[in-house]
Amino acid sequence: MDKVLICSLDELRNKKYIIKTIDKWKDEIIIFGDTKNTIKIFSSICPHFGGEIILDKSKKFLTCKWHAWKFCKDSGKCLSFTIKGKLNQYDFKVEPKDLGEYSHKIENDLIFAIKR
């Protein structure tokens, strides 16, 4: 099991969310608590084009700062994406990817992310 220290429970309680780079996983993660005090950890790199994922102001979903793609804050599933501009008729399919999700473990009031 590969785990990395992210923050303490107190740090997370005092912030809306925390973004942290995990060099050894070559990823950046977002960690937050929902209204039921459940801790969620996802990749904070948008699978569309690499923009930063943040928890929106209403705390209802995760969103990409670059292109406003929305993701479910519970599952990381892509909820919407915008294509701006006009395209010619081509036979293609857009299949957005979901955010990578990490599990966590709490030891001595410290939160560790665990790579699945």
- The residue that leads in pLDDT, 30 or 94, is 30
Which tokens sit at 86? 């006009």
CA distance 59 to 106: 23
Query: In whole numbers, what is the pLDDT of the chain averaged over residues?
Result: 86
- Strand-strand pairing, 2-8 and 61-64: unpaired
pTM of the predicted model as reported, rounded to 2 decimal places? 0.80
Q: d(Cα 100, Cα 116) in Å, to the nearest integer?
A: 10
Domain enclosing residue 49, as ranges: 2-115
Q: What is the pLDDT of residues 69-83, one digit of tens each?
A: 899 999 999 987 655
The CATH number given to whatever domain includes residue 60 is 2.102.10.10
DSSP 20-60: EEEGGGTEEEEEEE-TT--EEEEE-B-TTT-PBEEE-TTSS
Running DSSP on this structure, what letter comes out for residue 80?
Answer: E
Our count of domains for the chain comes to 1
